[in-house]
A = this chain, B = another copy of it.
């Protein structure tokens, strides 16, 4: 009995990151990840479509957070603030995963194929935000500009959050970056 193990997803994730760091992403098989986690391949595939998705499934969660945050904003007039608020809504959950995010980032930076994947996923996040704005009757190009600019700012704040030694929160870094963009746009 006792086949059920708590937090299978977390253990698979941990095992995968350890193996990717030790051997390089391309060398690792799903069988090895499952074995390291003390689980079966079948269990792995219950959580992840393939070994790449261990690194990317979180972006679907981010997308859902961004999209519902925009849906809930009653009056999305100040567009850039609307997008900033949506991006900030994801900060608490990301703060809980900072160590994972750091290890993930290091793996992706070292692998062009994963970098390409990351850029595609980020681009899809911008599209999802633009679509959420369309559903609030914001037309293009305004929706697109707010979404793409917001995601550009998010990328920069996220990278600073990952790479810096200090402990500034992602939310603060996001706010600082939006403020910097605003004063830049005002020609200051």
Q: Number of residues in A with C-beta < 8 Å to the partner?
A: 33
Q: Mark A149-160, 1 if CB is under 8 A from B, else 0.
A: 101110110001
> Which residues of B lie under 8 Å from residue A78 when comparing CB positions?
187
> Which residues of B lie under 8 Å from residue A177 when comparing CB positions?
141, 145
- Listed residue (A80, A116, A117, A176) with the most chain B CB atoms within 10 angstroms of its CB: A116
- Listed residue (A115, A151, A152, A155) with the most chain B CB atoms within 10 angstroms of its CB: A152
Q: Mark A90-128, 1 if CB is under 8 A from B, else 0.
A: 000000000000000000000010011101100100000
Chain A positions within 8 Å of B, measured between CB atoms, are: 78-81, 112, 115-117, 119-120, 123, 141-142, 144-146, 148-149, 151-153, 155-156, 160, 176-177, 180-182, 184-187
